[in-house]
Amino acid sequence: MNLSLGRPVYETYKLDPLCQAVEAAWKAGIVVVVAAGNDGRTNYATLNGYGTITAPGNDPYVITVGAMNTKGTPDRSDDVMTSYSSKGPTAIDHIVKPDLVAPGNRVVSLQTGGYLQKSYPGNRPAFSYYQNTTSTNLSDKYFILSGTSMATAVVSGGTALLIQKNPTLTPNQVKALLMKTAYKNLPGYSSVTDAGVTYTIQYDAFTVGTGDLDMQAATSAIDIPPSSMSALSPAATYDTNCGCVYFVQDSSTL
């Protein structure tokens, strides 16, 4: 189930009807992949984008996805985090999110006859060299969008590949595999300037989760986690004695 959507967190995930609905789907055997949100620039001067994960991406069961910028190349060496990708911890419950990140900036895909395509024709890619037999420009059928919604769809596609290879995988096993095999050789920091504002991004667990989606590693993994355990995302707790934050993990969680 792909949920490229989000709204503000109003209450604990334990009471939120939207979170309870995705948990019901998860427990019924459906992998739920949710966008982290695009509020990483909100109150940036004071929050640096932290604490902006949207619901139901704040639920510890689901796979919550942030957005990377591939710079339009297949090489990971120039990939950077987007400044708009929402960061954890989640409001109220302080769940460590996102769980991982994936390509989500300037993604090209089909969008035929929809509202966005009609309202923003300038978002069409320049694919003039792709033509069909009637010489109609195929770029009329494609559209460019950026956001964690796009990154979520990439992870959903990857999830489908995992399940296609091993149909017996549970949602918890899929989540654990994607997180464990995520590409972790990321920079410590990067900066991006947009509309005259410079955003400095730290690649911590509240920003990139466990790393960048790596489907080759995920589909090649042979150490499949046990199906009997959950894959709940941990909570973060602040210790006033040392001024530090640590993760609280359930003993039954992978």
Burial of 1 (0-12, 13-18, 19+ CB in 10 A): middle
Tell me the per-residue pLDDT of 89-147, one tens digit each, with 9 for 90 and over. Answer: 999 999 999 999 999 998 888 776 677 777 777 777 765 444 444 445 556 678 888 99
Instruction: Name the nearest CA neighbour of 64 among 37, 29, 103, 91.
Output: 37
Instruction: Name the nearest CA neighbour of 179 among 218, 210, 223.
Output: 210
DSSP letter at 70 equals: -
Q: pTM, whole model, 2 decimals?
A: 0.91
Tokens of 25: 């789907």
Instruction: Name the nearest CA neighbour of 219 among 144, 156, 159.
Output: 159
Ranges assigned E (strand) in the chain: 2-3, 33-35, 63-69, 80-81, 100-103, 107-110, 142-145, 189-194, 197-202, 235-239, 244-248
- Location of structure tokens 């996805």: 65
The mean-pLDDT minimum among 11-15, 95-99, 242-246 falls in 242-246
Contact 231, 211 (CB under 8 A): no
Is 90 exceeded by the pLDDT of residue 241?
yes
CB under 8 Å to 186, separation ≥6 — which residues? 79, 203, 208, 211, 212
CA dihedral of residues 51, 170, 226, 207 (deg, nearest 10)? -20
Residue type, position 26, single letter: W
Residue with the bigger pLDDT between 242 and 251: it is 242
d(CA 230, CA 77): 33
Tell me the per-residue pLDDT of 149-201, one tens digit each, with 9 for 90 and over. Answer: 999 999 999 999 999 999 999 999 999 999 999 999 999 999 988 888 999 99
